[in-house]
Amino acid sequence: MTNKEFDDFVARQTSKVKSPKVDWKKQRKEWLKHLSDFYQQVEEFLSDYVAKGQISINYGVKSIIEEGLGEYQVNTAIIKIGPSEIKLEPIGANVIGAKGRVDMNGSNGTVKFVLVDQEAAEPRTSVPIWIRGEKPPPKLEKPKRIKWVWKISTHPPYIRYVELEPESFFDSVMEVANG
């Protein structure tokens, strides 16, 4: 084989690749909005305790670097309850199986919050495959419009999503703070 033959082969292969155009600025803006909504939800859950001076929430900033999204700044939060400190730390928008993730870290472990389809009860992924030379499978139904919501992800191996409500959030705080 000559270099010319290889050049032709590479040209044929790369012409077959049709990668969708992603608007990364829009993706980052949406992710930051969802993150802001998450913190607002947390503040609502804790508002009575904050008003009474029993809990404080302090915000910090961290940098995240993600492929496509580049480097950007996000808020972190520290929830202080007596001697316990619980940190809410965004992990990123480019995570497998979700549109974003925030970890809640405390002295007793970590709870993961994931941004997923409102209807999702567990992670689901499907990839159509077929053997070269055979007819590809029919296109799947048109993707439905997804309503993104924050849920709590249980620990592996069998991951389930728990609705994010005041009670489930309080349980998570107690879990990571050894409460």
Mean pLDDT computed over 131-137: 78
Q: Which of 74, 44, 77 is nearest to 58 (CA)?
A: 77
Predicted TM-score (pTM) of the model is 0.82
Mean pLDDT computed over 117-141: 79
Residue 133, by phi and psi: left (phi above 0), alpha (psi -120 to 50) or beta?
Answer: left
pLDDT tens track for 146-170? 899 999 999 989 999 999 999 999 9
pLDDT band at 143 (very low <50, low <70, confident <90, very high): low
Domain boundaries, the chain: 22-176
Surface-to-core class of residue 78, CB atoms within 10 Å of its CB (0-12 exposed, 13-18 middle, 19+ buried) = middle
Would the pLDDT of 6 be above 70? yes
Secondary element (H or E) of residue 178: none
32 near 74, Cβ under 8 Å?
yes
Q: Which residues pair with 78 in a beta bridge?
A: 58, 87
